[in-house]
Amino acid sequence: MAETEVKVTVYRRGFIIDTITRPLRQLNGKPAVKYKRQLHDLVGGNAIHLDGPPPQAPAPPQVSKVVAKHPPPRSGWDPLQKAVIETRPEARLLVDAGPGTGKTAVACARVARLITQYDIQPTRIWLISFTRTAVREIRDRIAKALGDQEAAYAVRMATMDSHAWAIHSGFDEMAKIAGSYEKNIEDVLKLFRENDQVVEYLESVEHLIVDETQDVVGIRATLLTELVSRLSKSCGVTVFADEAQAIYGFADEDEGESGRDRQPPITEQLRKGGFGFEDRSLQQVFRTDSPNLLSLFTATRAKVLTPAPNPASKLEDIRKEVEALAHGEVPRIEEQGLEKAEDVLVLYRRRAEVLMASSFLNAQGVRHRIRMSGMPICIPPWVGACLGEHEGSTLTRTGFLALWKQRVVGTPCETLTADEAWEFLYRHAGKRENVVEMQRLRVVLARSQPPADFCSSELGTQGPIVGTIHASKGRESGTVHLMIPRGSAGKDTDCDAEARVVFVGATRARTRLMVGQSIRHYSTKLESSRIYSHKEGTATAQVEIGCDGDVSAQSAASISLYDTADEVRAVQERLLHLTTFPLKARAFCDREADFTYMLRTEEGGEFLGALTGHVNAELFNVAQVICSKSRGRRRPPSEIWHLHVVGVRTAVFPPNSPDAERMHAPWSTSGIVLVPVILGYMKLPFPYYWGRESHGHGQEDHPRAPRARSGGSTRR
pLDDT tens-digit profile of 177-191?
555 678 888 999 999
Average per-residue pLDDT for the chain: 85
Give the Cα separation of 323 and 321 in Å (integer): 5
Contact 523, 386 (CB under 8 A): no
Q: Give the list of residues 6+ apart from residue 369 with CB closer than 8 angstroms, or none.
A: 458, 459, 460, 461, 462, 463, 464, 465, 466
As a whole-number percent, the residues of the chain with pLDDT over 70 amount to: 86
Average pLDDT value for residue range 6-23: 67
Q: Which long-range contacts (CB under 8 A, 24 or more apart) does 217-222 make?
A: 217/248, 217/249, 217/263, 217/266, 218/182, 218/263, 219/182, 219/185, 219/186, 219/189, 220/160, 220/161, 220/185, 221/263, 221/266, 221/269, 222/189
Burial label for 317, CB within 10 Å (0-12, 13-18, 19+), is middle
Average pLDDT value for residue range 557-582: 94
pLDDT at 329: 96
How sure is the predictor about 514, in pLDDT bands with cuts at 50, 70 and 90? very high
pLDDT at 704: 34
Contact 588, 504 (CB under 8 A): no
Q: Evaluate if residue 56 carries a pLDDT over 60.
A: no
Give the Cα separation of 112 and 72 in Å (integer): 7
Q: Evaluate if residue 710 carries a pLDDT over 70.
A: no
Q: Evaluate if residue 105 carries a pLDDT over 80.
A: yes
How sure is the predictor about 516, in pLDDT bands with cuts at 50, 70 and 90? very high
pLDDT at 153: 85
pLDDT tens-digit profile of 641-669?
999 999 999 999 999 899 999 999 999 99
What's the pTM?
A: 0.81
Q: What are phi and psi of 523, to 5 degrees?
A: -140, 170
pLDDT at 482: 97
406 residue type, one letter: Q
pLDDT at 519: 84
Question: Which residues sit opposite 525 in a β-bridge?
Answer: 531
pLDDT tens-digit profile of 28-42?
777 787 877 678 888
Q: Evaluate if residue 59 carries a pLDDT over 60.
A: no
Give the Cα separation of 708 and 573 in Å (integer): 15
Least reliable range by pLDDT among 65-74, 580-589, 628-637: 65-74
Strand, coil or helix: 309: coil
Strand, coil or helix: 11: strand
* Of 423, 432, 431, the residue nearest 454 (C-alpha): 423
- The count of C-alpha atoms lying within 13 angstroms of the C-alpha of 678, restricted to the half-sphere facing its C-beta, is 33
pLDDT at 340: 86
Least reliable range by pLDDT among 40-54, 332-346, 410-424, 452-466: 40-54
pLDDT tens-digit profile of 203-261?
999 999 999 898 888 899 999 999 999 999 999 999 999 989 988 764 444 544 444 45
Higher pLDDT, 474 or 107: 107
Query: Torsion angle of alpha carbons 80, 133, 437, 433, nearest 10°?
Result: -40
pLDDT at 176: 61
Which helix H or strand E contains 462, and what residues bound it?
none
Give the Cα separation of 650 and 665 in Å (integer): 17
pLDDT at 51: 64
Contact 276, 235 (CB under 8 A): no
Concatenate the DSSP letters of all residues of 26-67 into one string. EETTEEEEEETTEEEE-BTTTEEETTS--SSPPPPGGGGG--
Q: Evaluate if residue 698 carries a pLDDT over 70.
A: no
Question: Which residues sit opposite 346 in a β-bridge?
Answer: 466, 481
Higher pLDDT, 312 or 491: 312
Q: Give the list of residues 6+ apart from residue 73 with CB closer than 8 angstroms, or none.
A: none
Give the Cα separation of 94 and 277 in Å (integer): 6
pLDDT at 694: 43
Q: Evaluate if residue 82 carries a pLDDT over 50.
A: yes
pLDDT at 270: 92
Give the Cα separation of 259 and 251 in Å (integer): 16
709 residue type, one letter: R
Q: What are phi and psi of 66, to 5 degrees?
A: -70, 135
Q: What are phi and psi of 377, to 5 degrees?
A: -70, 125
Least reliable range by pLDDT among 393-397, 520-524, 696-700: 696-700
Give the Cα separation of 597 and 617 in Å (integer): 12
Contact 108, 135 (CB under 8 A): no
pLDDT at 48: 80
CA-based R_g, the chain, Å: 27
Most confidently modeled range among 132-146, 534-548, 626-640: 534-548
pLDDT at 655: 93
Give the Cα separation of 185 and 175 in Å (integer): 11
pLDDT tens-digit profile of 324-351?
999 999 999 999 999 888 889 999 999 9
DSSP3 helix / strand / coil % (the chain, rounded to 5): 35, 25, 40
Give the Cα separation of 136 and 114 in Å (integer): 20
Strand, coil or helix: 466: strand
Burial label for 82, CB within 10 Å (0-12, 13-18, 19+), is middle
pLDDT at 255: 46
Most confidently modeled range among 39-53, 158-172, 327-341, 696-710: 327-341
pLDDT at 431: 84
Concatenate the DSSP letters of all residues of 82-110 into one string. HHHHHS-TT-EEEEEE-TTS-HHHHHHHH
DSSP 8-state secondary structure symbol assigned to residue 296? I
Contact 567, 606 (CB under 8 A): no
Burial label for 644, CB within 10 Å (0-12, 13-18, 19+), is buried
pLDDT at 705: 33
Contact 20, 8 (CB under 8 A): yes
Encode burial over 92-119: b for 16+ CB neighbours within 10 A, e otherwise.
Answer: bbbbbbbbbbbbbbbbbbbbbbbbbeee
* Of 378, 418, 386, the residue nearest 403 (C-alpha): 386
Phi-psi region of 616 (alpha: psi -120 to 50; beta: other; left: phi over 0): alpha
Contact 161, 132 (CB under 8 A): no
Most confidently modeled range among 29-33, 62-66, 434-438, 593-597: 434-438
Contact 285, 100 (CB under 8 A): yes
